[in-house]
Amino acid sequence: MSQKRSILIVSPHAAPSAALAQALKQGGYEVVRHELPGALPPADLVLIDVSAGAAWPDAETLPARFMLIVDNASAMRRGFGLGAEDCLLADAHLEEVAARCDAVLRRTDTRVGLADEEEVAVYVDRRLWVNFGSHQVWVRGRGAHLTPREFRLLAYLIRHKDETLDHDRLLTSVWERPIVEERPTEVLKQYIWRLRQKIEEDPNTPDTIVTDPGAGYRFVSRLD
């Protein structure tokens, strides 16, 4: 179990930042609130609110590890361009914010002694947020509704990210069907199509769940 981590919230919006601070404290974090301008106190992670007209920080003074709260996709792209570990929309659920903070710290922490083999409870990249415990999925900051079978398929693909998985393996693992000769794959193809409709920016040219012709399907991670 890791020690309590510190999160610095930088925001001019008193009420929203107070609610966020409370949610993060309930999630086990030490939380400090701060308003720009001024030197930022040290923290494990800095969460900067640039929504609703709030000032953007000076790029030269940004901390090594920070996240941004933004208004829209354009601001999100700008934030990633500045080097943000993650960007969230201002209307994101407080539990999502807390989970993403946890995932960023887990992904970027280089301290000695963290358990590399610890079961991952949350997957986060710059497109996708998946909570394996609650079965919640956000795509580019928006909630996505997946059926239980769709979620199980996505979770299996993520847990074996960047690995090509053939039809037999997916059907055996996700549908728990025994391997048989000439197994029909139309059901799997239909579920892959449905997942792409819900998580791909362009389902017709997928770049998250890709097809390796003649081999199977592969979830492409985007952690950097």
Sign of CA dihedral 115, 137, 165, 184: positive
Q: Does the reported pTM lie above 0.85?
A: no
Task: Look at the chain and report how many structural domains it folds into.
Answer: 2
Regions of the chain with pLDDT less than 50? 1-2, 110-118, 181-182
Contacts of 124 (CB under 8 A, 6+ apart): 86, 99, 100, 103, 104, 107, 130
224: its two tokens: 């950097």
Would you state the pLDDT for residue 81? 75
Structural domain of 183 = 143-219
Does 1 reside within a domain?
no
Assign residue 174 the CATH number of its domain. 1.10.10.10
Same domain, 110 and 156: no
Would you state the pLDDT for residue 36? 63
Residue with tokens 């920016």: 201
Would you state the pLDDT for residue 112? 27
Same domain, 111 and 52: yes
Would you state the pLDDT for residue 212? 94
- Angle formed by the axes of helices 94-108 and 14-26, nearest 10°: 60
Same domain, 188 and 108: no
C-alpha–C-alpha distance, residues 64 and 42, integer Å: 11
Same domain, 150 and 113: no
Would you state the pLDDT for residue 114? 35
Does 12 reside within a domain?
yes
Same domain, 153 and 97: no
- Dihedral, 171, 172, 178, 184 alpha carbons, nearest 10: 10
Residue 44 has φ and ψ, to the nearest 5°, of -65, -35
Does 70 reside within a domain?
yes
Same domain, 88 and 171: no
Same domain, 21 and 112: yes
Distance of alpha carbon 168 from the chain centroid: 28
Sign of CA dihedral 7, 37, 92, 149: negative
Would you state the pLDDT for residue 109? 64
Same domain, 112 and 14: yes
Assign residue 103 the CATH number of its domain. 3.40.50.2300
User: 94: burial class by Cβ within 10 Å (0-12, 13-18, 19+)?
Assistant: middle
How many residues are listed for the chain in this entry? 224
